[in-house]
Structure 1
Amino acid sequence: MSKYRKQYGLPFKLGIGLNTIYIIFELTFGVLFGSVALMTDAMHNLSDVLGLFVSWFAGIISFKKRTPKMTYGYKQATVLGAFANAVFVLAAMVWIIIEAIANFGAEKTNQGLGIAGVALLGVFINFATAFLFQKDSKKDLNIKGAFLHMAADGMVSLGVVCSGLLVSVTGWGFIDSLTSIIVAALVIYSSWGLLRQSLQLLMSAVPDDVDVEKITQVIKSFAEVKDYHDLHVWGIGTNDVAVSVHIELKKNVEPAVILELLTNNLKKINKVTHTVIQIDCPQAEVENDF
Protein backbone atom coordinates (compact mmCIF):
# COMPACT_ATOMS: atom_id res chain seq x y z
CA MET A 1 0.00 0.00 0.00
CA SER A 2 2.90 2.36 0.74
CA LYS A 3 3.76 2.56 -2.96
CA TYR A 4 0.60 4.62 -3.47
CA ARG A 5 1.06 6.98 -0.50
CA LYS A 6 3.54 9.25 -2.29
CA GLN A 7 0.88 9.95 -4.95
CA TYR A 8 -1.09 11.87 -2.33
CA GLY A 9 1.67 14.13 -1.03
CA LEU A 10 3.54 17.01 -2.62
CA PRO A 11 1.55 17.24 -5.92
CA PHE A 12 -1.67 17.98 -4.04
CA LYS A 13 -0.03 20.50 -1.69
CA LEU A 14 1.55 22.39 -4.59
CA GLY A 15 -1.59 22.24 -6.72
CA ILE A 16 -3.87 23.54 -3.98
CA GLY A 17 -1.47 26.30 -2.94
CA LEU A 18 -0.74 27.62 -6.43
CA ASN A 19 -4.37 27.58 -7.53
CA THR A 20 -5.65 29.28 -4.38
CA ILE A 21 -3.26 32.18 -4.96
CA TYR A 22 -4.23 32.38 -8.63
CA ILE A 23 -7.98 32.42 -7.84
CA ILE A 24 -7.55 35.59 -5.76
CA PHE A 25 -5.40 37.14 -8.49
CA GLU A 26 -7.82 36.21 -11.29
CA LEU A 27 -11.00 37.30 -9.50
CA THR A 28 -9.45 40.69 -8.74
CA PHE A 29 -8.55 41.39 -12.36
CA GLY A 30 -11.80 39.84 -13.63
CA VAL A 31 -13.75 42.45 -11.66
CA LEU A 32 -11.39 45.26 -12.72
CA PHE A 33 -11.57 44.33 -16.42
CA GLY A 34 -15.25 43.34 -16.35
CA SER A 35 -14.50 40.02 -18.08
CA VAL A 36 -17.08 37.22 -17.81
CA ALA A 37 -14.57 34.72 -19.18
CA LEU A 38 -11.98 35.71 -16.57
CA MET A 39 -14.42 35.55 -13.66
CA THR A 40 -15.96 32.23 -14.79
CA ASP A 41 -12.47 30.83 -15.18
CA ALA A 42 -11.75 31.89 -11.59
CA MET A 43 -14.90 30.13 -10.38
CA HIS A 44 -13.87 27.01 -12.27
CA ASN A 45 -10.48 27.30 -10.60
CA LEU A 46 -12.31 27.34 -7.25
CA SER A 47 -14.06 24.10 -8.19
CA ASP A 48 -10.64 22.70 -9.06
CA VAL A 49 -9.28 23.48 -5.62
CA LEU A 50 -12.32 21.84 -4.05
CA GLY A 51 -11.80 18.87 -6.37
CA LEU A 52 -8.15 18.60 -5.36
CA PHE A 53 -9.14 18.68 -1.69
CA VAL A 54 -11.67 15.91 -2.28
CA SER A 55 -9.18 13.73 -4.17
CA TRP A 56 -6.48 14.33 -1.57
CA PHE A 57 -8.80 13.59 1.35
CA ALA A 58 -10.18 10.49 -0.39
CA GLY A 59 -6.66 9.21 -1.01
CA ILE A 60 -5.64 9.71 2.62
CA ILE A 61 -8.84 8.04 3.87
CA SER A 62 -8.28 5.04 1.59
CA PHE A 63 -5.15 4.07 3.56
CA LYS A 64 -7.05 3.65 6.83
CA LYS A 65 -6.98 0.10 8.18
CA ARG A 66 -10.03 -2.12 7.84
CA THR A 67 -12.44 -2.53 10.73
CA PRO A 68 -15.09 -5.12 11.67
CA LYS A 69 -17.61 -2.79 10.01
CA MET A 70 -15.49 -1.84 6.99
CA THR A 71 -14.08 -5.25 6.14
CA TYR A 72 -12.52 -4.05 2.88
CA GLY A 73 -11.14 -0.96 4.55
CA TYR A 74 -11.77 2.47 3.04
CA LYS A 75 -10.43 1.88 -0.46
CA GLN A 76 -13.73 2.89 -2.07
CA ALA A 77 -13.08 6.46 -0.89
CA THR A 78 -10.90 6.97 -3.97
CA VAL A 79 -13.81 5.96 -6.23
CA LEU A 80 -16.04 8.49 -4.48
CA GLY A 81 -13.28 11.07 -4.95
CA ALA A 82 -13.13 10.39 -8.68
CA PHE A 83 -16.92 10.61 -8.95
CA ALA A 84 -16.99 13.90 -7.02
CA ASN A 85 -14.31 15.34 -9.30
CA ALA A 86 -16.30 14.35 -12.38
CA VAL A 87 -19.40 16.04 -10.95
CA PHE A 88 -17.38 19.17 -10.02
CA VAL A 89 -15.97 19.48 -13.54
CA LEU A 90 -19.30 18.94 -15.31
CA ALA A 91 -21.20 21.26 -12.95
CA ALA A 92 -18.58 24.00 -13.38
CA MET A 93 -18.75 23.73 -17.15
CA VAL A 94 -22.55 23.91 -17.17
CA TRP A 95 -22.34 27.00 -14.96
CA ILE A 96 -19.84 28.58 -17.36
CA ILE A 97 -22.15 27.92 -20.34
CA ILE A 98 -25.15 29.42 -18.52
CA GLU A 99 -23.20 32.53 -17.52
CA ALA A 100 -21.74 32.93 -21.00
CA ILE A 101 -25.17 32.72 -22.63
CA ALA A 102 -26.62 35.19 -20.12
CA ASN A 103 -23.82 37.69 -20.90
CA PHE A 104 -23.67 37.09 -24.65
CA GLY A 105 -25.14 40.46 -25.58
CA ALA A 106 -23.63 42.45 -22.73
CA GLU A 107 -21.18 45.26 -23.38
CA LYS A 108 -17.64 43.94 -23.17
CA THR A 109 -14.45 45.40 -21.81
CA ASN A 110 -11.71 46.84 -24.01
CA GLN A 111 -9.06 45.29 -21.75
CA GLY A 112 -8.51 42.30 -24.04
CA LEU A 113 -4.73 42.25 -23.71
CA GLY A 114 -4.89 42.59 -19.93
CA ILE A 115 -7.35 39.68 -19.73
CA ALA A 116 -5.13 37.57 -21.98
CA GLY A 117 -2.12 38.30 -19.79
CA VAL A 118 -3.88 37.28 -16.58
CA ALA A 119 -5.27 34.12 -18.17
CA LEU A 120 -1.86 33.21 -19.62
CA LEU A 121 -0.51 32.92 -16.08
CA GLY A 122 -3.38 30.52 -15.39
CA VAL A 123 -2.43 28.40 -18.38
CA PHE A 124 1.04 27.83 -16.93
CA ILE A 125 -0.22 27.20 -13.37
CA ASN A 126 -2.98 24.78 -14.38
CA PHE A 127 -0.99 22.77 -16.89
CA ALA A 128 1.97 22.65 -14.49
CA THR A 129 -0.34 21.30 -11.78
CA ALA A 130 -1.86 18.78 -14.21
CA PHE A 131 1.66 17.62 -15.08
CA LEU A 132 2.22 16.76 -11.41
CA PHE A 133 -0.61 14.22 -11.66
CA GLN A 134 -0.06 13.04 -15.25
CA LYS A 135 2.05 9.96 -14.50
CA ASP A 136 -0.09 8.57 -11.67
CA SER A 137 -3.36 9.36 -13.49
CA LYS A 138 -2.74 6.31 -15.66
CA LYS A 139 -2.87 4.02 -12.62
CA ASP A 140 -5.37 5.65 -10.26
CA LEU A 141 -8.84 6.88 -11.30
CA ASN A 142 -9.00 9.25 -8.34
CA ILE A 143 -5.77 10.97 -9.42
CA LYS A 144 -7.01 10.88 -13.00
CA GLY A 145 -9.92 12.98 -11.76
CA ALA A 146 -7.51 15.54 -10.32
CA PHE A 147 -5.47 15.48 -13.53
CA LEU A 148 -8.52 16.03 -15.77
CA HIS A 149 -9.75 18.76 -13.47
CA MET A 150 -6.50 20.73 -13.79
CA ALA A 151 -6.07 19.98 -17.50
CA ALA A 152 -9.64 21.16 -18.08
CA ASP A 153 -8.95 24.41 -16.27
CA GLY A 154 -5.80 24.86 -18.33
CA MET A 155 -7.95 24.56 -21.46
CA VAL A 156 -10.42 27.12 -20.11
CA SER A 157 -7.59 29.54 -19.32
CA LEU A 158 -6.16 29.01 -22.79
CA GLY A 159 -9.58 29.81 -24.21
CA VAL A 160 -9.67 33.04 -22.20
CA VAL A 161 -6.25 33.99 -23.59
CA CYS A 162 -7.47 33.46 -27.14
CA SER A 163 -10.71 35.38 -26.55
CA GLY A 164 -8.83 38.27 -24.94
CA LEU A 165 -6.50 38.56 -27.90
CA LEU A 166 -9.33 38.29 -30.43
CA VAL A 167 -11.42 40.91 -28.63
CA SER A 168 -8.47 43.31 -28.55
CA VAL A 169 -7.87 42.82 -32.29
CA THR A 170 -11.44 42.67 -33.64
CA GLY A 171 -13.42 44.55 -31.02
CA TRP A 172 -16.07 41.81 -31.16
CA GLY A 173 -17.15 41.53 -27.55
CA PHE A 174 -19.27 38.40 -28.06
CA ILE A 175 -16.07 36.37 -28.57
CA ASP A 176 -15.56 36.43 -24.80
CA SER A 177 -18.77 34.43 -24.20
CA LEU A 178 -18.51 32.31 -27.35
CA THR A 179 -15.04 31.09 -26.39
CA SER A 180 -16.27 30.14 -22.91
CA ILE A 181 -19.09 28.05 -24.41
CA ILE A 182 -16.83 26.24 -26.88
CA VAL A 183 -14.15 25.40 -24.31
CA ALA A 184 -16.74 24.30 -21.73
CA ALA A 185 -18.35 21.97 -24.28
CA LEU A 186 -14.96 20.42 -25.08
CA VAL A 187 -14.22 19.90 -21.38
CA ILE A 188 -17.61 18.21 -20.84
CA TYR A 189 -16.86 15.86 -23.72
CA SER A 190 -13.40 14.96 -22.41
CA SER A 191 -14.57 14.51 -18.79
CA TRP A 192 -17.57 12.30 -19.49
CA GLY A 193 -15.44 9.15 -19.37
CA LEU A 194 -14.36 9.91 -15.79
CA LEU A 195 -17.99 10.10 -14.67
CA ARG A 196 -18.81 6.86 -16.49
CA GLN A 197 -15.82 4.96 -15.04
CA SER A 198 -16.41 6.12 -11.47
CA LEU A 199 -20.11 5.26 -11.66
CA GLN A 200 -19.24 1.80 -12.98
CA LEU A 201 -16.86 1.19 -10.08
CA LEU A 202 -19.51 2.34 -7.61
CA MET A 203 -21.79 -0.27 -9.20
CA SER A 204 -19.10 -2.98 -8.71
CA ALA A 205 -18.37 -3.24 -12.42
CA VAL A 206 -15.15 -4.63 -13.85
CA PRO A 207 -12.59 -1.77 -14.08
CA ASP A 208 -11.73 -0.72 -17.64
CA ASP A 209 -8.07 -1.67 -17.23
CA VAL A 210 -8.79 -5.23 -16.06
CA ASP A 211 -9.19 -8.00 -18.64
CA VAL A 212 -11.74 -10.63 -17.52
CA GLU A 213 -10.73 -12.85 -20.42
CA LYS A 214 -7.20 -12.97 -19.05
CA ILE A 215 -8.57 -14.07 -15.67
CA THR A 216 -10.55 -16.89 -17.26
CA GLN A 217 -7.48 -17.95 -19.24
CA VAL A 218 -5.49 -18.26 -16.01
CA ILE A 219 -8.20 -20.46 -14.49
CA LYS A 220 -8.51 -22.61 -17.62
CA SER A 221 -4.74 -23.03 -17.82
CA PHE A 222 -4.88 -25.45 -14.88
CA ALA A 223 -5.54 -28.94 -16.23
CA GLU A 224 -6.58 -29.96 -12.72
CA VAL A 225 -9.58 -27.62 -12.86
CA LYS A 226 -12.55 -29.53 -14.31
CA ASP A 227 -14.92 -26.57 -14.37
CA TYR A 228 -15.55 -23.15 -12.83
CA HIS A 229 -18.57 -20.92 -12.19
CA ASP A 230 -19.73 -17.85 -10.25
CA LEU A 231 -16.81 -15.77 -11.46
CA HIS A 232 -17.01 -12.18 -10.18
CA VAL A 233 -14.54 -9.33 -10.72
CA TRP A 234 -14.95 -5.92 -9.13
CA GLY A 235 -12.95 -2.92 -7.95
CA ILE A 236 -12.30 -2.38 -4.25
CA GLY A 237 -11.20 1.17 -4.97
CA THR A 238 -9.12 2.61 -7.79
CA ASN A 239 -5.98 0.54 -7.20
CA ASP A 240 -7.31 -2.84 -6.05
CA VAL A 241 -9.40 -5.49 -7.79
CA ALA A 242 -11.07 -8.51 -6.20
CA VAL A 243 -11.75 -11.83 -7.92
CA SER A 244 -14.04 -14.55 -6.58
CA VAL A 245 -14.74 -17.89 -8.26
CA HIS A 246 -15.96 -21.43 -7.58
CA ILE A 247 -13.86 -24.21 -9.09
CA GLU A 248 -14.41 -27.94 -9.43
CA LEU A 249 -11.28 -30.08 -9.36
CA LYS A 250 -10.64 -33.41 -11.01
CA LYS A 251 -10.16 -36.54 -8.92
CA ASN A 252 -6.87 -37.29 -7.15
CA VAL A 253 -5.79 -33.65 -7.10
CA GLU A 254 -4.24 -31.94 -4.10
CA PRO A 255 -6.57 -28.94 -3.45
CA ALA A 256 -4.09 -26.94 -1.34
CA VAL A 257 -1.45 -26.96 -4.09
CA ILE A 258 -3.90 -25.85 -6.80
CA LEU A 259 -5.38 -23.19 -4.53
CA GLU A 260 -1.96 -21.66 -3.83
CA LEU A 261 -0.83 -21.73 -7.47
CA LEU A 262 -4.09 -20.34 -8.81
CA THR A 263 -4.13 -17.55 -6.21
CA ASN A 264 -0.55 -16.54 -7.02
CA ASN A 265 -1.19 -16.57 -10.78
CA LEU A 266 -4.34 -14.48 -10.48
CA LYS A 267 -2.51 -11.90 -8.37
CA LYS A 268 0.00 -11.42 -11.18
CA ILE A 269 -2.78 -9.83 -13.22
CA ASN A 270 -2.93 -6.03 -13.22
CA LYS A 271 -4.43 -4.64 -9.97
CA VAL A 272 -5.74 -8.00 -8.71
CA THR A 273 -4.89 -7.94 -4.99
CA HIS A 274 -7.71 -9.93 -3.41
CA THR A 275 -8.95 -13.42 -4.37
CA VAL A 276 -11.69 -15.66 -3.03
CA ILE A 277 -11.50 -19.18 -4.48
CA GLN A 278 -13.98 -21.80 -3.36
CA ILE A 279 -13.34 -25.44 -4.19
CA ASP A 280 -16.67 -27.22 -4.64
CA CYS A 281 -17.29 -30.70 -3.31
CA PRO A 282 -18.74 -33.23 -5.81
CA GLN A 283 -21.36 -34.23 -3.25
CA ALA A 284 -22.65 -30.68 -2.73
CA GLU A 285 -24.66 -28.52 -5.12
CA VAL A 286 -23.53 -24.95 -4.47
CA GLU A 287 -24.92 -22.21 -6.68
CA ASN A 288 -25.42 -18.51 -6.01
CA ASP A 289 -28.25 -16.37 -7.36
CA PHE A 290 -25.80 -14.39 -9.51
Structure 2
Amino acid sequence: MSHNHSHHEVQGKNLLFSIVLNIVITVAQVIGGILSGSLALISDALHNFSDVLTLIFSYIANVLSRRKASLDQTFGYKRAELIAAFVNSITLIVVAIYLIFEASHRFSNPQEIKSNLVIWMSILGIVINGISALMLKKDADHNINIKSAYIHLFTDMMASVAVLIGGILMKLYQIYWIDSALTLAIALYLIYVGYDLLKESTKMLMLFTPSDIDIKELVREVHQISGVNKLHHIHVWHLNDHELHLEAHLDCSEDIKMSEFNILLEKMEAVLLEKFNINHINIQPEFQKEDSKDFIVQD
Protein backbone atom coordinates (compact mmCIF):
# COMPACT_ATOMS: atom_id res chain seq x y z
CA MET A 1 0.00 0.00 0.00
CA SER A 2 1.32 3.43 -0.89
CA HIS A 3 1.04 6.41 1.43
CA ASN A 4 1.31 10.08 0.54
CA HIS A 5 0.32 12.25 3.48
CA SER A 6 1.17 15.70 2.15
CA HIS A 7 -1.89 17.88 2.57
CA HIS A 8 -3.04 21.28 3.74
CA GLU A 9 -3.13 21.66 7.55
CA VAL A 10 -6.33 23.27 8.78
CA GLN A 11 -5.98 26.02 11.38
CA GLY A 12 -8.28 25.12 14.29
CA LYS A 13 -7.65 28.46 16.00
CA ASN A 14 -9.51 30.24 13.17
CA LEU A 15 -12.57 28.14 13.96
CA LEU A 16 -12.35 29.01 17.67
CA PHE A 17 -12.13 32.73 16.95
CA SER A 18 -15.09 32.49 14.57
CA ILE A 19 -17.12 30.73 17.28
CA VAL A 20 -16.58 33.61 19.71
CA LEU A 21 -17.45 36.24 17.08
CA ASN A 22 -20.64 34.46 16.08
CA ILE A 23 -21.84 34.04 19.65
CA VAL A 24 -21.53 37.82 20.02
CA ILE A 25 -23.45 38.60 16.82
CA THR A 26 -26.15 36.00 17.58
CA VAL A 27 -26.94 37.55 20.97
CA ALA A 28 -26.87 41.07 19.50
CA GLN A 29 -29.18 40.19 16.59
CA VAL A 30 -31.70 38.34 18.76
CA ILE A 31 -31.99 41.40 21.01
CA GLY A 32 -32.11 43.72 17.99
CA GLY A 33 -34.71 41.59 16.20
CA ILE A 34 -37.01 41.52 19.24
CA LEU A 35 -36.69 45.27 19.85
CA SER A 36 -37.17 46.19 16.19
CA GLY A 37 -39.79 43.58 15.32
CA SER A 38 -37.77 42.48 12.27
CA LEU A 39 -38.30 38.87 11.18
CA ALA A 40 -35.37 39.13 8.77
CA LEU A 41 -33.08 40.17 11.64
CA ILE A 42 -34.33 37.34 13.86
CA SER A 43 -33.94 34.89 10.96
CA ASP A 44 -30.40 36.18 10.48
CA ALA A 45 -29.79 35.60 14.21
CA LEU A 46 -31.17 32.07 13.89
CA HIS A 47 -28.82 31.40 11.01
CA ASN A 48 -25.98 32.84 13.12
CA PHE A 49 -26.90 30.49 15.95
CA SER A 50 -26.75 27.59 13.50
CA ASP A 51 -23.33 28.97 12.52
CA VAL A 52 -22.20 28.71 16.14
CA LEU A 53 -23.32 25.07 16.34
CA THR A 54 -21.77 24.39 12.95
CA LEU A 55 -18.44 25.91 13.93
CA ILE A 56 -18.36 24.01 17.24
CA PHE A 57 -19.15 20.75 15.46
CA SER A 58 -16.55 21.49 12.78
CA TYR A 59 -13.93 22.29 15.43
CA ILE A 60 -14.60 19.03 17.30
CA ALA A 61 -14.43 17.08 14.05
CA ASN A 62 -11.18 18.83 13.12
CA VAL A 63 -9.63 17.88 16.49
CA LEU A 64 -10.86 14.28 16.21
CA SER A 65 -9.49 13.92 12.68
CA ARG A 66 -5.97 14.48 14.03
CA ARG A 67 -6.12 11.50 16.39
CA LYS A 68 -3.83 8.63 15.50
CA ALA A 69 -5.11 5.28 14.32
CA SER A 70 -5.34 2.44 16.84
CA LEU A 71 -6.25 -1.23 16.99
CA ASP A 72 -9.88 -0.26 17.58
CA GLN A 73 -9.93 2.64 15.09
CA THR A 74 -7.66 1.54 12.26
CA PHE A 75 -8.44 4.69 10.25
CA GLY A 76 -8.45 6.91 13.33
CA TYR A 77 -11.21 9.54 13.17
CA LYS A 78 -10.36 10.79 9.69
CA ARG A 79 -13.98 10.56 8.51
CA ALA A 80 -15.24 12.74 11.36
CA GLU A 81 -14.98 15.83 9.18
CA LEU A 82 -17.16 14.22 6.49
CA ILE A 83 -19.84 13.56 9.11
CA ALA A 84 -19.56 17.20 10.26
CA ALA A 85 -19.99 18.45 6.69
CA PHE A 86 -23.01 16.16 6.22
CA VAL A 87 -24.70 17.36 9.42
CA ASN A 88 -23.87 21.01 8.70
CA SER A 89 -25.43 20.80 5.24
CA ILE A 90 -28.62 19.39 6.74
CA THR A 91 -28.79 22.24 9.28
CA LEU A 92 -28.60 24.73 6.40
CA ILE A 93 -31.65 23.15 4.79
CA VAL A 94 -33.59 22.80 8.08
CA VAL A 95 -33.00 26.48 8.94
CA ALA A 96 -34.10 27.44 5.41
CA ILE A 97 -37.38 25.50 5.70
CA TYR A 98 -38.13 27.20 9.02
CA LEU A 99 -37.44 30.63 7.51
CA ILE A 100 -39.79 29.90 4.58
CA PHE A 101 -42.55 28.98 7.02
CA GLU A 102 -42.04 32.15 9.08
CA ALA A 103 -41.78 34.40 6.03
CA SER A 104 -44.99 33.05 4.49
CA HIS A 105 -46.84 33.69 7.76
CA ARG A 106 -45.46 37.25 8.03
CA PHE A 107 -46.44 38.05 4.42
CA SER A 108 -50.10 37.88 5.42
CA ASN A 109 -49.45 39.78 8.66
CA PRO A 110 -46.89 42.54 7.91
CA GLN A 111 -45.67 44.45 10.96
CA GLU A 112 -44.07 47.85 11.39
CA ILE A 113 -40.34 47.52 11.91
CA LYS A 114 -37.81 49.84 13.56
CA SER A 115 -35.52 50.15 10.57
CA ASN A 116 -32.64 52.05 12.25
CA LEU A 117 -31.92 49.14 14.59
CA VAL A 118 -32.19 46.70 11.71
CA ILE A 119 -29.64 48.69 9.70
CA TRP A 120 -27.05 48.84 12.50
CA MET A 121 -27.47 45.17 13.45
CA SER A 122 -27.11 44.07 9.83
CA ILE A 123 -23.91 46.11 9.48
CA LEU A 124 -22.56 44.37 12.59
CA GLY A 125 -23.49 41.02 11.02
CA ILE A 126 -21.72 41.87 7.77
CA VAL A 127 -18.51 42.83 9.57
CA ILE A 128 -18.35 39.85 11.94
CA ASN A 129 -19.42 37.20 9.42
CA GLY A 130 -17.14 38.75 6.81
CA ILE A 131 -14.13 38.51 9.13
CA SER A 132 -15.02 34.92 10.09
CA ALA A 133 -15.52 33.86 6.47
CA LEU A 134 -12.21 35.41 5.40
CA MET A 135 -10.38 33.50 8.14
CA LEU A 136 -11.78 30.18 6.89
CA LYS A 137 -11.60 30.86 3.14
CA LYS A 138 -8.13 29.37 2.61
CA ASP A 139 -8.91 26.20 4.59
CA ALA A 140 -12.29 25.84 2.85
CA ASP A 141 -10.54 25.24 -0.46
CA HIS A 142 -8.92 22.08 0.93
CA ASN A 143 -11.35 20.66 3.49
CA ILE A 144 -15.06 19.80 3.11
CA ASN A 145 -15.67 20.21 6.84
CA ILE A 146 -14.28 23.75 6.87
CA LYS A 147 -16.06 24.39 3.57
CA SER A 148 -19.39 23.60 5.24
CA ALA A 149 -18.59 26.06 8.05
CA TYR A 150 -17.41 28.67 5.53
CA ILE A 151 -20.65 28.37 3.52
CA HIS A 152 -22.66 28.93 6.70
CA LEU A 153 -20.68 32.10 7.43
CA PHE A 154 -20.62 33.41 3.86
CA THR A 155 -24.36 32.93 3.33
CA ASP A 156 -25.00 34.60 6.68
CA MET A 157 -22.89 37.56 5.60
CA MET A 158 -24.93 37.79 2.39
CA ALA A 159 -28.11 37.49 4.47
CA SER A 160 -26.94 40.46 6.53
CA VAL A 161 -26.38 42.41 3.30
CA ALA A 162 -29.95 41.59 2.28
CA VAL A 163 -31.24 42.66 5.69
CA LEU A 164 -29.31 45.94 5.39
CA ILE A 165 -30.87 46.65 1.99
CA GLY A 166 -34.28 45.83 3.42
CA GLY A 167 -33.70 48.10 6.43
CA ILE A 168 -32.79 51.01 4.17
CA LEU A 169 -35.89 50.45 1.97
CA MET A 170 -38.11 50.24 5.03
CA LYS A 171 -36.62 53.45 6.42
CA LEU A 172 -37.02 55.39 3.17
CA TYR A 173 -40.28 53.99 1.79
CA GLN A 174 -41.97 52.12 4.69
CA ILE A 175 -42.24 48.96 2.57
CA TYR A 176 -42.42 46.45 5.42
CA TRP A 177 -43.25 43.39 3.33
CA ILE A 178 -39.68 43.58 1.99
CA ASP A 179 -38.58 42.07 5.33
CA SER A 180 -40.47 38.85 4.57
CA ALA A 181 -39.40 38.85 0.91
CA LEU A 182 -35.73 39.03 1.88
CA THR A 183 -36.20 36.27 4.45
CA LEU A 184 -37.66 34.06 1.72
CA ALA A 185 -34.79 34.87 -0.65
CA ILE A 186 -32.23 34.02 2.04
CA ALA A 187 -33.98 30.71 2.72
CA LEU A 188 -34.03 29.68 -0.95
CA TYR A 189 -30.32 30.45 -1.28
CA LEU A 190 -29.59 28.36 1.83
CA ILE A 191 -31.39 25.38 0.27
CA TYR A 192 -29.38 25.82 -2.93
CA VAL A 193 -25.95 25.78 -1.27
CA GLY A 194 -27.00 23.27 1.40
CA TYR A 195 -28.16 20.72 -1.15
CA ASP A 196 -24.89 20.93 -3.09
CA LEU A 197 -22.85 20.36 0.07
CA LEU A 198 -25.19 17.57 1.22
CA LYS A 199 -24.78 15.78 -2.11
CA GLU A 200 -20.98 16.07 -1.99
CA SER A 201 -20.63 14.85 1.60
CA THR A 202 -23.13 12.01 1.07
CA LYS A 203 -21.17 10.71 -1.93
CA MET A 204 -18.01 10.62 0.19
CA LEU A 205 -19.71 8.91 3.14
CA MET A 206 -21.25 6.31 0.81
CA LEU A 207 -17.80 5.60 -0.67
CA PHE A 208 -18.95 6.47 -4.17
CA THR A 209 -16.33 6.78 -6.89
CA PRO A 210 -15.17 10.43 -6.93
CA SER A 211 -16.77 12.36 -9.79
CA ASP A 212 -13.37 13.29 -11.25
CA ILE A 213 -12.23 9.66 -11.48
CA ASP A 214 -12.99 7.76 -14.69
CA ILE A 215 -12.58 4.06 -13.85
CA LYS A 216 -12.25 3.04 -17.50
CA GLU A 217 -9.54 5.64 -18.12
CA LEU A 218 -7.76 4.52 -14.93
CA VAL A 219 -7.77 0.91 -16.14
CA ARG A 220 -6.43 1.94 -19.57
CA GLU A 221 -3.50 3.72 -17.94
CA VAL A 222 -2.65 0.79 -15.65
CA HIS A 223 -2.94 -1.72 -18.50
CA GLN A 224 -0.17 0.12 -20.37
CA ILE A 225 2.31 -0.94 -17.66
CA SER A 226 4.41 -3.93 -18.68
CA GLY A 227 3.54 -7.04 -16.66
CA VAL A 228 -0.10 -6.09 -16.10
CA ASN A 229 -2.75 -8.35 -17.58
CA LYS A 230 -6.04 -7.24 -15.99
CA LEU A 231 -6.98 -4.83 -13.22
CA HIS A 232 -10.36 -5.81 -11.74
CA HIS A 233 -12.50 -5.84 -8.55
CA ILE A 234 -11.83 -2.08 -8.38
CA HIS A 235 -12.90 0.25 -5.55
CA VAL A 236 -11.97 3.95 -5.47
CA TRP A 237 -13.15 6.21 -2.63
CA HIS A 238 -12.34 9.22 -0.48
CA LEU A 239 -11.39 8.42 3.11
CA ASN A 240 -11.41 12.17 3.69
CA ASP A 241 -10.49 15.26 1.67
CA HIS A 242 -6.80 14.39 1.60
CA GLU A 243 -6.76 10.62 1.12
CA LEU A 244 -8.00 8.97 -2.06
CA HIS A 245 -7.90 5.18 -1.85
CA LEU A 246 -7.87 2.44 -4.44
CA GLU A 247 -8.10 -1.27 -3.83
CA ALA A 248 -8.22 -3.84 -6.61
CA HIS A 249 -7.17 -7.27 -7.82
CA LEU A 250 -4.32 -7.37 -10.32
CA ASP A 251 -3.99 -10.33 -12.66
CA CYS A 252 -0.33 -10.45 -13.65
CA SER A 253 0.67 -11.48 -17.17
CA GLU A 254 3.40 -13.81 -15.83
CA ASP A 255 3.96 -15.92 -12.71
CA ILE A 256 6.45 -13.47 -11.18
CA LYS A 257 8.31 -13.45 -7.85
CA MET A 258 7.20 -11.11 -5.04
CA SER A 259 10.29 -8.96 -5.53
CA GLU A 260 9.28 -8.48 -9.17
CA PHE A 261 5.74 -7.67 -8.11
CA ASN A 262 7.11 -4.94 -5.83
CA ILE A 263 8.68 -3.26 -8.86
CA LEU A 264 5.40 -3.58 -10.78
CA LEU A 265 3.50 -2.10 -7.81
CA GLU A 266 5.85 0.91 -7.65
CA LYS A 267 5.13 1.64 -11.32
CA MET A 268 1.37 1.47 -10.66
CA GLU A 269 1.66 3.74 -7.63
CA ALA A 270 3.53 6.34 -9.67
CA VAL A 271 0.94 6.32 -12.48
CA LEU A 272 -2.08 6.43 -10.16
CA LEU A 273 -0.65 9.23 -8.05
CA GLU A 274 0.48 11.36 -10.98
CA LYS A 275 -2.58 10.96 -13.20
CA PHE A 276 -5.40 10.44 -10.67
CA ASN A 277 -4.04 11.79 -7.37
CA ILE A 278 -4.67 8.42 -5.69
CA ASN A 279 -2.29 8.26 -2.73
CA HIS A 280 -3.33 5.02 -0.98
CA ILE A 281 -3.21 1.82 -3.01
CA ASN A 282 -3.97 -1.74 -1.91
CA ILE A 283 -3.46 -4.38 -4.62
CA GLN A 284 -4.18 -8.11 -4.44
CA PRO A 285 -1.82 -9.88 -6.90
CA GLU A 286 -3.09 -12.89 -8.89
CA PHE A 287 -1.97 -15.13 -11.73
CA GLN A 288 -4.58 -16.98 -13.80
CA LYS A 289 -6.94 -17.14 -10.84
CA GLU A 290 -10.42 -18.32 -11.79
CA ASP A 291 -12.67 -15.47 -10.71
CA SER A 292 -14.59 -12.62 -12.28
CA LYS A 293 -12.39 -10.18 -14.16
CA ASP A 294 -15.01 -7.40 -14.33
CA PHE A 295 -13.91 -3.92 -13.32
CA ILE A 296 -16.63 -3.71 -10.68
CA VAL A 297 -17.68 -6.81 -8.75
CA GLN A 298 -20.21 -6.90 -5.91
CA ASP A 299 -18.22 -8.35 -2.99
Does the pair score TM above 0.5? yes
- Work out whether 1:279 is the aligned partner of 2:285: yes
Native 8 Å contact 1:89 1:188 kept in 2: yes
Distance 2:199 2:152 in 1: 15
Native 8 Å contact 1:201 1:235 kept in 2: yes
Native 8 Å contact 2:247 2:283 kept in 1: yes
Task: Name the structure 2 match of 1:40.
Answer: 43
Native 8 Å contact 1:233 1:241 kept in 2: yes
- Once the two structures are superposed, residues 120-161 of structure 1 have per-residue CA deviations (whole angstroms, 9 ceiling, x without a partner) of 221121122112222222221111111111111112111111
Name structure 2 gaps, 5 residues minimum: none
Distance 1:214 1:201 in 2: 21
**Measured at CA, do residues 251 and 107 of structure 1 come closer, stay the same or move farther in structure 2, by a change above 3 Å?**
closer
Q: Map of 1:107-126 to 2, 5 A cutoff?
A: 107-126=110-129
Count matched residues: 288
Structure with larger RCO (C-alpha < 8 A, sep 6+): 2
Task: Name the structure 1 match of 2:95.
Answer: 92
- Work out whether 1:265 is the aligned partner of 2:274: no
The AA in structure 2 aligned to 1:46 is: F
- Work out whether 1:193 is the aligned partner of 2:222: no
Cα distance, 1:4 vs structure 2: 4.3
- Match 1:178 to one of 181, 188, 191: 181
Native 8 Å contact 1:75 1:238 kept in 2: no
SS of residue matched to 1:167: helix
Cα distance, 1:10 vs structure 2: 2.1
Task: Name the structure 2 match of 1:13.
Answer: 16
**Measured at CA, do residues 212 and 141 of structure 1 come closer, stay the same or move farther in structure 2, by a change above 3 Å?**
farther
TM-score, scaled relative to structure 2 = 0.89
- Once the two structures are superposed, residues 212-244 of structure 1 have per-residue CA deviations (whole angstroms, 9 ceiling, x without a partner) of 456334413313212111111011123211101
- Give me the CA root mean square deviation: 2.1
- Percent of residue pairs identical: 28
- Match 1:231 to one of 234, 238, 259: 234
Task: Name the structure 2 match of 1:53.
Answer: 56
- Match 2:65 to one of 62, 67, 71: 62
The AA in structure 1 aligned to 2:227 is: E
Cα distance, 1:3 vs structure 2: 5.0
SS of residue matched to 1:228: strand
**Measured at CA, do residues 4 and 61 of structure 1 come closer, stay the same or move farther in structure 2, by a change above 3 Å?**
farther
Name structure 1 gaps, 5 residues minimum: none
Task: Name the structure 1 match of 2:298.
Answer: 289
The AA in structure 1 aligned to 2:261 is: P
**Measured at CA, do residues 14 and 184 of structure 1 come closer, stay the same or move farther in structure 2, by a change above 3 Å?**
same
TM-score, scaled relative to structure 1 = 0.91
